[in-house]
Amino acid sequence: MNAPLPDGAVPIPDGNAAQPADAVVRQAAQWCATVHGGQADAAELSACRRWRDERPEHELAYRRMEALWGGFDSAAYASPGAARRIISGSLAPSPSLRARKTTVVLAVAMLAAACLGLQLAPPAWLLADHRSGAGEWRVVELPDHSRVTLNTDSAIDVRYDGARRLIELRRGEILVEVASEDGRRPFIVQTRDGTARAMGTRYVVRLEAEHTDVSVTESTVQACASAPGAPCARLAAGQRARLSPTGLSALPDLAPDVAESWARATLVVDNRPVAEVLGELARYRRGRLSYDERALAGLRVSGVFPLEDTDQALQALSATLPLTVRRYTSWWVSIAPR
């Protein structure tokens, strides 16, 4: 016989239903905490409703998060001791019940999704030769004295042999500085979308979910998409290209010092959408930076922002633009228009 549900709890949907993807589970946890956190505005409530209506698995994941939320009304889950055990002491000494529930729901959901993914198939980047964490930069000295600088949350494998010097970019972004030409062993950065072969010394390669961007900051690079029959392109300093499953396409030129500004822990932007800038800052944060891209569509910004202190960058944005910064925990911040 099932135990009675706590007051206010929502029955957990059938566990035999198709399981939502881990990214959907995390998003559902964030929406649940936003809606039940007591500070959601009409725009956030509407955005949550739209997200739930997009796909059946969104609604399923959200209902399960609400059931988990309701379960924390019981003393067993809502006690400070239980919360501290779950998230290893990251709560304040005497948080409110609602704050405890928010933190615990997010922590449990994200941890469960991450652990499930690791059990099923550890991603290749997790097993890479060299990795950097969120908000971390790392310089790797290669056997031929070339250097690779890993941007935040990046991973590479190094494959040197008698025929080539190959860097496999598994995740994130790198700045390559090739020490010397070697006609017998070309220097190549490879991603699932194609290759970028050094014809000189410095270039940036960034791996995204659906494409790879190559930016040349010194000398030239030969970029080739892996798509069958796709042509290659030789890029000079300041030029960029995008490699994707459909082929190779040119991107607007970008000054070399801007393309590699992240290696100096700065973000340089010129008349870019605020949502795009927030997306960049989010890469350097441990935790969640949430915002509604559509609500921020009319806002653009230019400036130089510190990447080693993204809280300072957010403060600068809110001081110059009509933005409100809400801090729910040390690792969850939301941005909304004023």
Local mean pLDDT, 10-residue blocks, the chain (338 residues)? 41 46 74 73 84 86 70 41 37 49 57 51 76 95 95 95 94 94 87 94 95 97 93 96 95 96 96 96 91 93 95 94 90 90
189-225 pLDDT per residue, tens: 999 999 999 987 899 999 999 999 999 999 999 999 9
Domain shared by 269 and 253, yes or no:
no
Asked if the structure places residue 271 within a domain, the reply is yes
Domain shared by 232 and 274, yes or no:
no
Asked if the structure places residue 305 within a domain, the reply is yes
Asked if the structure places residue 37 within a domain, the reply is no
Domain tally, the chain: 2
Asked if the structure places residue 4 within a domain, the reply is no
Domain shared by 206 and 296, yes or no:
no
Domain boundary among 232, 257, 282: 257
Domain shared by 251 and 278, yes or no:
no
| pTM value > 0.85 | no
17-27 pLDDT per residue, tens: 455 666 777 78
Phi, psi of 63, rounded to the nearest 5 degrees: -65, -35
Domain shared by 327 and 205, yes or no:
no
Domain shared by 253 and 270, yes or no:
no
Domain shared by 312 and 273, yes or no:
yes
Domain shared by 137 and 236, yes or no:
yes
pLDDT, residue 180, reads: 79
Range of the domain at 314: 265-337
Asked if the structure places residue 147 within a domain, the reply is yes
Domain shared by 235 and 314, yes or no:
no
Asked if the structure places residue 328 within a domain, the reply is yes
Domain boundary among 197, 225, 257: 257
pLDDT, residue 35, reads: 79
Domain shared by 193 and 282, yes or no:
no
Domain boundary among 257, 284, 305: 257
Asked if the structure places residue 311 within a domain, the reply is yes
